[in-house]
Amino acid sequence: MDEAAVQILITGLKYIGAGLAMTGAIGAGAGVGIVVNGAVQAMGRNPDATPTIQTNMILGIAFAEAVAIYALAVALIILFAA
């Protein structure tokens, strides 16, 4: 293989690796949906506990989104630093 073909192959593999790394965002999206679903149901059943439930919901969403941010960071490292 010549040098140009090798570079094209490496670039293509980087794109595939970055795409696979971003599959972590799927789990984060599903996690946020499940957390919000449970919180809304709990607030509907017990409106007096809304502030506590809402605080815990926001904390759970932040932790779930952290996984997506880590996946994005890994994808960017694969694309630009590897």
Q: Mean per-residue pLDDT for 20-28?
A: 89
Q: Domain count of the chain? A: 1
Distances (CA, A) of 60 to 27, 37, 38, 39: 13, 12, 11, 10
pTM beyond 0.85, yes or no: no
The pLDDT, as a whole number, for residue 62 is 92
**11 has a pLDDT exceeding 90:** yes
pLDDT digits (tens, 9 = 90+) for 26-78: 888 898 999 999 999 999 999 999 999 999 999 999 988 999 999 999 999 99
**Domain enclosing residue 49, as ranges:** 3-80
Query: Domain of 7: which CATH number?
Result: 1.20.20.10
**82 has a pLDDT exceeding 80:** no
